[in-house]
Amino acid sequence: MSKNISIKGLIFDFDGLVVDTEYAKYLSWQEIFNSYGAEISFSFIESILGYEEGPNPVIPYLEKVVGKRVNSKEVLARVKNTLFSRINNLGLMSGVSDYLETAEKLGLPIVIASNAKREQITPIIDRLNINKYFSCILTRENVQKPKPYPDILFLALEKLGLSNKEVVAFDDSNLGLRAARSVGIFCVAVPNELTKHFNLDAADLIIKSMSEISLYSLLQKIA
């Protein structure tokens, strides 16, 4: 690795960063809302980012917007079916492949640190055949509190065996950016089609996509 680069490891979010599952979820819900003659707002989606286990918060919002009760089981089944179809057709987001290959060439280990469940991530990674690029995959099951709490970032540093100043974190929303910043990790926002409408003020740097600047150039810029 070039002596001009001090970064020794990377932390990637997954949903909405590596693969745009976030926008796929939004489109699936928007389809449901449209069938009721309604729209789901970006501001509402931003407000529920990272919600944990429990009743799906979109259902009461849908009922409020349309002014009547809905069959929640039926709605959730429809969303699940359309989302499954969309996700199965998703490829890597723009520039991600180049970042993965460059990191491998530079000897930079990458840890996935995601709020998603392992069962949601693993099939996508296997289908896209990118498992070899990740030294470790951390998911919601690995920590007590998900992002924006810093638990998973501390665990990622532990797995990398590096300090917070030797790592860069990439995320698509303030949820992960706040977690990284609270740990003192330099964080890069790479918004997707959904989160480009959101507040990303916790980022140290914002790039439109990973195809905007090469990983090598970005790391030199940070250094």
Beta bridge partners of 138: 113
Exposed/middle/buried for residue 39 (C-beta within 10 Å: 0-12, 13-18, 19+): exposed
201 is catalytic: no
Q: Is 15 a catalytic residue?
A: yes
Shortest CA distance to 46 belongs to which of 168, 161, 196, 166? 196
Name the catalytic one among 15, 20, 171, 172: 15
Identify the CA nearest to 112 among candidates 82, 83, 142, 84.
142
| Cα separation values, 1 from 6, 34, 107, 109, Å | 9, 51, 7, 12
Nearest in space to 181 (alpha carbons), one of 212, 173, 142, 5: 173
Catalytic center residues:
13, 15
